[in-house]
Structure 1
Amino acid sequence: DDNTWISDRDSSAGSLEISQVLGGGFPMKEELESLKYDFPCQNILLFAAGSGIAPIRAAIESGELGTSGARTARLYYGVRTEADLCFVDRFPLWEQAGVEVVPVLSQPSESWQGRTGYVQNALEEDGVPIPRNTGALMCGMKGMAEACKDILTKAGVFEGRVLTNF
């Protein structure tokens, strides 16, 4: 995407505040590709809550997840309502790139057909099939990240392969 909405905007509409980037990013090559573990990382679990989807989107669209080969990826994306889902138009592209998208709504409408509750509950329900071969990236609310990290490490995912960015 381009940023013409910034440069083309009417300056009489008010100011636009921009701050520096926060968070350290995801050290994917060091942790997910390194040989420091005896088990290759073949499964990537992605967790995002609310605006935490932005860094996860960047990770997906960077091509660095390596989902074109034998590696699988699943994104658990938690928001309150269906209207709060961002980048819905990109979901098919992510699916084509090998990322299964699992939206989880905490306050769904009666017509919602997908997962409900919280991201950590969806993870707990699905489990972690091959923990030693799994890595995770997460960004979003601290409670979600802590709960998911706890579930993952208790299942046997190497703690160093659980990457967070806030």
Structure 2
Amino acid sequence: MSTLTVSSASHPLLRLPSLPHAPFSSSMPSLPFPLPLRLLRRRLSSLSAAAVRPDSAAAVWTPAPLTLISPASSDASLFHLSVDLSDAPDLASGYTAPGQYLQVRVPSSAGEAKPAFLAIASPPPLAIGESRFEFLVKRVPGSTADLLCGMKDGDVIELGAVMGRGFEIEKISPPDAVNTVFIFATGSGISPIRALIESGFSANKRTDVRLYYGARNLQRMAYQERFKDWESTGVRIIPVFSRPDDSWKGEKGYIQTAFFRAKQILNPSSTGAVLCGHKQMTEDVTSVLVADGVSKDKILKNF
């Protein structure tokens, strides 16, 4: 077996630079020599990975009080949360586009429950003139989301930095160039779609804007009280239930199948889409749109 004998003081591969996230100790770990070449490479690789690995403990968390927490669905599987950012203007200013998200944690559970990733449901603060974030939280037993849904007004949570680019609306603008927009959302994926609709994307200046909104049934569908306002902006809402009761006469099944039955793409070059929800749904819808000639650049997602 080939071996490689080197001096840790002289060989350039062993003179690793200091990095701000994980500075090296002045004493490098000793390497047994002679060392088989493949083992040396493995050791160097692990040392380099440790040097550049982010330190999660160094993340900046901003405390903020809850100003609202209430059920968002009649079966209490979804909750509305509102957070006051009056004392955190820098964090509020980081939210500039619908579709952005951040991490949320409960201080008392730090180290026990993983922070929850939540899309911001309210429009960017500059659009509404208020310093607050609103969220739609799906209750999952044993998770941070479950802890959040059990809190009360005035309790303090911690927020990480705003992340993501959000929906790149400029790719489906101006409205006369992309006059047909199909929007797809499932479950709590309606959160950033609400932010998009309420911040405005010139829906009333387009020929056809449809929101296919999927949920298990009417009892699990959030934001029903906002539908009338959304439709007044030019968005046609099509609820689709996968497990409706016998009284439901509307669309049934999955939103991709409902769209496949109804789709009428008259001009692919002037058609765009916005998607947020289950991975299978986004993949299925994207495949059909692209096959019909819609440009991938005009199919917007928030990840």
Whether TM-score is above 0.5 comes out as: yes
Residue 32 of structure 1, aligned match among 159, 162, 172: 172
Partner Cα separation in structure 2 for residue 98 and residue 88 of structure 1:
16
Match for residue 4 of structure 1? 67
Offset at 1:114?
A: 1.2
Structure-to-structure mapping, 1:81-160, within 5 angstroms = 81-130=217-266, 131-160=268-297
Code of the aligned partner of 2:263 = G
Higher strand fraction (1 or 2): 2
Offset at 1:71?
A: 3.6
Match for residue 127 of structure 2? none
Partner Cα separation in structure 1 for residue 248 and residue 158 of structure 2:
36
Structure 1 residues 76-100: Cα deviation after superposition (integer angstroms, max 9, x where no partner): 0011111111100111111111100
Larger Rg: 2
Partner Cα separation in structure 1 for residue 180 and residue 167 of structure 2:
16
After superposition, the CA RMSD in angstroms is 2.1
Code of the aligned partner of 2:213 = Y
**Mapped pair 1:67 → 2:203:** yes
Preserved contact between residue 274 and residue 301 of structure 2 (Cα < 8 Å):
yes
- More divergent stretch after superposition (148-157 vs 127-136): 127-136
Offset at 1:18?
A: 4.4
Task: For structure 1, list consecutive stretches of 5 or more residues without a partner in the other structure.
Answer: none
Offset at 1:158?
A: 1.0
Partner Cα separation in structure 1 for residue 157 and residue 258 of structure 2:
37
Q: SS state of the match for residue 128, structure 1?
A: coil
Residue 214 of structure 2, aligned match among 59, 75, 78: 78
Q: SS state of the match for residue 107, structure 1?
A: coil
Q: SS state of the match for residue 68, structure 1?
A: helix
Partner Cα separation in structure 2 for residue 119 and residue 83 of structure 1:
17
Partner Cα separation in structure 1 for residue 284 and residue 217 of structure 2:
21
- More divergent stretch after superposition (19-28 vs 76-85): 19-28
Preserved contact between residue 186 and residue 278 of structure 2 (Cα < 8 Å):
yes
Relative to structure 1, the CA distance from residue 70 to residue 163 in structure 2 (aligned partners, 3 Å threshold; closer, same or farther) is closer
Code of the aligned partner of 2:240 = V
Offset at 1:157?
A: 0.8
Code of the aligned partner of 2:294 = V
Residue 55 of structure 1, aligned match among 167, 174, 192: 192
Higher helix fraction (1 or 2): 1
Structure 1 residues 79-135: Cα deviation after superposition (integer angstroms, max 9, x where no partner): 111111110011111111110000100011111121000011011111232222110
Relative contact order: is structure 1 or structure 2 higher (C-alpha 8 Å, sep ≥ 6)? 1
Match for residue 41 of structure 1? 178
Preserved contact between residue 105 and residue 117 of structure 1 (Cα < 8 Å):
yes
Code of the aligned partner of 2:241 = L
Relative to structure 1, the CA distance from residue 22 to residue 126 in structure 2 (aligned partners, 3 Å threshold; closer, same or farther) is farther
Offset at 1:4?
A: 2.4
Offset at 1:160?
A: 0.6
Count of residues in correspondence between the two structures: 155
